[in-house]
Amino acid sequence: MKSKDLSEVKAAARKAAFARRKHAFDGAGRGQSAHLSEVLAGYRGVPLAGYMPIRTEITPLAAMAEAAAYGPVGVPVIQAAGLPLEFSRWEPEAPLREGPFGAQVPEVDDYFDPEIVIVPLVAFDAQGGRLGYGGGFYDRTLERLRARRATLAIGFAFDAQEAENLPLEPTDQPLDMIVTESGFRSF
């Protein structure tokens, strides 16, 4: 498939996935991150990174707050287009500032490399494939982290974000696990 065709297929897949995610978000109740907390309990103290939810993303904040009681938790900070993300230490109730794309980031940067990355996404498949926003930030970041040491990539999404036949490329980094509001599975 030519790159122009692939980008059109990806755009269509994202559009459909955003619609499914919005519908799930609008109907979401409390306890969205209960299963994420359950998974992270098995990794107490391991440095991890979550994310500050934007738009209609499922929120990992309760699970992140719980994990922060046992070890370092960070959130992504975009450095520039084309570069991997850096992760700055996050604490519940700590002061935040607005970062790129409207995501909140810690007011004071304190960077570290996580061993677990909770990854937001637009869509995922049954094999651990992930469709993101299209900037490649998480793919570059996971590639860099995995070149240094084993890094667990946990996709976090609503069940409704699962899709078949995602238009993936060789540079797309796979998920090791997916956690949704109803459960989790490893790949």
Question: Rounded to 5 degrees, what are φ and ψ at 152?
Answer: -90, 120
Number of domains in the chain: 1
Residues 112-133, buried b or exposed e (16+ Cβ, 10 A)?
ebbbbbbbbbbbbbeebbbbbe
Tell me which residue range forms the domain holding 7.
3-186
Token pair 């993303």 is found at 57
Whether 129 shows a pLDDT value over 60: the answer reads yes
How does the average pLDDT of the chain come out, rounded? 94
Please compute, for residue 130, the number of CA atoms within 13 A of its CA located in the half-sphere on the CB side.
Answer: 29
Whether 1 shows a pLDDT value over 80: the answer reads no
Whether 66 shows a pLDDT value over 60: the answer reads yes
d(CA 87, CA 68): 14
User: Is this prediction's pTM over 0.95?
Assistant: no
Centre a 10 Å sphere on the Cβ of residue 10 and count the other Cβ atoms it contains. 18
Whether 3 shows a pLDDT value over 80: the answer reads no
pLDDT at 13: 94
pLDDT at 83: 94
Under the banding of pLDDT at 50, 70 and 90, the label for residue 94 is very high
The set of residues, in sequence order, having a beta carbon less than 8 Å from that of 114 and lying 6+ positions away, is 47, 48, 49, 72, 74, 87, 145, 151
Which range among 54-58, 98-102, 115-119, 151-155 shows the weakest confidence by mean pLDDT? Answer: 98-102
pLDDT in tens, 155-172: 999 999 999 989 999 999
DSSP 56: T
Rounded mean pLDDT of 23-46?
93
**Which domain CATH number covers 127?**
3.40.50.10420
The set of residues, in sequence order, having a beta carbon less than 8 Å from that of 184 and lying 6+ positions away, is 35, 36, 38, 39, 177, 178
